[in-house]
Amino acid sequence: MTTTTTTTTDDELMAAAIDAAVVARAAAPPWPSVGCVLTRDGVIVGRGATGGFPVGPHAEVAALAEAGDRARGATAYTTLEPCDHDGNTPPCTRALIDAGVARVVVGVVDPDAKVAGRGLDRLRAAGIEVSVGVGADGVEHYLAPYLHHRRTGRAFAYLKTAMSLDGRTAAADGTSQWITSPEARADAHRLRAESHAVLVGPHTAVADAPSLTARDVPLGPWGQPIRVLLDGKGRVPVAGPLADAALAPTVVYATAAMPAATVAAWSEAGATVTVVGGGDDGRGVDLDAVLVDLAATHRVFQVLVEGGGRLHGAFVAEGRADRLVTYVAPVVLGERGRAVVATPGPETLADATRWRVVDVAPLGPDVRITYAPIRAAA
């Protein structure tokens, strides 16, 4: 039973709700990971987070259960707007109203079409005071893949690379194992496990024959992430780990140029082949179509892009890179090394893509730096 005296500022209590959500986020998808804190008379009387899909409970219901009778007259701090529809579980708005909560503080309005303000309207109609936008920046940060999924209909593209101090992913002869330390590689497997899909292009698939599985780390309830191969013309042999359905599911995105025999071979190996249009460069596949299909068909919130410089360059050039995580090793490979982002780039600095740092962490001798693109307002 939670009776810890706490501070009473909205921002600090929303931060506590965010902490609860972050701890629980591995089990939530395809639900969003939500955190909820209930307070009365300056005391936290209930904490909750989204339970495992598909039976929950949702965060608000879990917090109310812990609070019991002390929920009457309390204030609920919830990171995402409470739902107001029957699904796998009853509406959270009904639970809050029935419990006699006096005030609800919401971090971010849920962009899901089933919610999108309806929960707020229901609470206000019941006479509950509602505040929106408290701690919104923190919620937007930790819940970015879900919010992006619902707002855009696309999977959140998380580009990952290991590189030298001078921004190279491999030496001149193509050797790249291992630029980074065991600590960095272990963290990269954690990132795979937290993603719903891991994506590569044909060059990486042929050169490395990767398994794209998360190893030596706890897995989410969905198990191994989906392996995604972009191979417009069917250049990748149907062999090796990606053709082994026992390791994890594989989805191959191709164009009409992939030979029918190759499509049949992937299907016989247990993979799903989806035909999309060609890419902007006339060679690859339509990245936008891939991200939309991953979101709609496979319910992927976050896809980890592990391709080489060409694939990363395509994502950046087309404005489809939502995060860039770089594992930087203390080594210099020189100008003949291979670039992290292989794209011609702008003619002038004024036209360069700008990024902001969202996280920095040391990992053994290496440093992980995560960036978000700075996009012009629509």
Reported as a pLDDT band with limits 50, 70 and 90, residue 3 is very low
Average pLDDT, the chain: 87
* pLDDT score for 352: 80
Q: Which two tokens stand for residue 304?
A: 């980890």
**What share of the chain in percent tops pLDDT 90?**
60
Average pLDDT for 219-224: 81
Asked if residue 2 has pLDDT above 60, the reply is no
Question: In what helix (H) or strand (E) does residue 128 lie, and over which residues does it extend?
Answer: none
Q: For the chain, report the end-to-end CA distance as a whole number of angstroms.
A: 47
Q: Would the pTM of this model clear 0.75, i.e. be above it?
A: yes
For 101, residues 6+ apart whose C-beta sits below 8 A from its C-beta are 38, 64, 71, 72, 73, 74, 75, 76, 128
Asked if residue 213 has pLDDT above 90, the reply is yes
Asked if residue 1 has pLDDT above 50, the reply is no
Residues acting as catalytic residues: 60
Reported as a pLDDT band with limits 50, 70 and 90, residue 76 is very high
Closest CA to 20 of 58, 42, 50, 45: 50
Reported as a pLDDT band with limits 50, 70 and 90, residue 82 is very high
18-48: per-residue pLDDT in tens?
Answer: 998 887 776 777 778 899 999 998 899 999 9
Rounded to the nearest angstrom, the gap between the alpha carbon of residue 97 and the centroid of all alpha carbons in its chain is: 32
* pLDDT score for 5: 46
Residues forming beta bridges with residue 250, ordered by sequence position: 227
* pLDDT score for 136: 93
Q: Which two tokens stand for residue 3?
A: 């009776």
Exposed e or buried b per residue across 27-51, where buried means at least 16 C-beta atoms within 10 angstroms of its C-beta? bbbebbbbbbbbbbeeebbbbbbbb
84-99: per-residue pLDDT in tens?
Answer: 876 667 789 999 999 9
In order of start, what are the domains of the chain with their CATH numbers?
Answer: 10-145 (3.40.140.10), 154-373 (3.40.430.10)
